Amino acid sequence: MTVRPIRLYGDPVLRTPADEVTDFDAQLREIVRDLEDTVREPGRAGVAGPQIGVSLRVFSYNVGGRIGHLVNPVLSDFAGEQTDEEGCLSLPGLGYPTRRYESVTARGFDQHGSPVVIEGTGFLARALQHETDHLDGRLYVDTLTGDVRRQALREMRRVLPR
C-alpha cells in the first residue's frame, strides 16, 4: 500500500494541464493503485494525478464508500446547479461555497483501457468536476467569484506557504 504525499498550492504541477494517458500498462496500474491507496485516507473524496506529482489525466474517487478511478475523463450532460462548501487537499484547511453542476456524466477508461461511464449526482458530481478540473490545471478557488473569491485569496495569502 502506497499513500503518496499531496502536492500543495504553489507547486507548478497543479497549474499544468495533465497529459492524456496513451499507454494502459503496468506503470499506469501502479499509479492507479497509488491514487486509490491515497484516496482511502480518512476525509478524502478524490485525488488527481497532479496532486501526487503525476501529470497524467487520471484520478481516483472515494464517495459513499465507493472507491474507483477514471482515466482520460470527459464530462458531459451537465444539469442543474448546486452550491456547497468545497475544499481541496492541495489547499489544506480552506473551504468555500462553490457552484457546481448538480449532475454530470463522466466518460473515460479504467486502468486496462476499457470504457467507463459514471453518471454522478450531488456529491459524486461535485467530486467528478473537481478532479477533472485538477487535470486541466485548475483549482476550485479559480471558479469562485466576487466577495467569496476575495476572501479566499486573502486567506490563501495568510495561511499557505509561498
- Backbone phi, then psi, for 3, in 5-degree steps? -95, 115
Model confidence at 39, in pLDDT bands (50, 70, 90)?
very high
Helices (H), the chain: 26-39, 122-135, 146-159
Catalytic machinery residues = 131
Which residues contact residue 45 at a Cβ distance below 8 angstroms, ignoring those fewer than 6 apart?
39, 61, 62, 63, 123, 127, 130
130 is in an annotated binding site: yes
If you average pLDDT over residues 35-43, what whole number do you get? 96
Domain at 12-159, CATH homologous superfamily: Peptide deformylase (3.90.45.10)
134 is in an annotated binding site: yes
69 is in an annotated binding site: no
Cell 482520460 identifies what position? 72
Percentage of the chain beyond pLDDT 90 is: 93
Model confidence at 1, in pLDDT bands (50, 70, 90)?
confident
Model confidence pTM above 0.75: yes
Reported as a single tens digit per residue, the pLDDT across 131-142 is: 999 999 999 999
Question: In whole angstroms, what is the distance from residue 123 CA to residue 20 CA?
Answer: 25
Residue 96 half-sphere exposure, CB side, CA atoms within 13 Å? 22
Domain boundaries of the chain, sorted by first residue: 12-159
Reported as a single tens digit per residue, the pLDDT across 62-111 is: 999 999 999 999 999 999 999 999 999 999 999 999 999 999 999 999 99
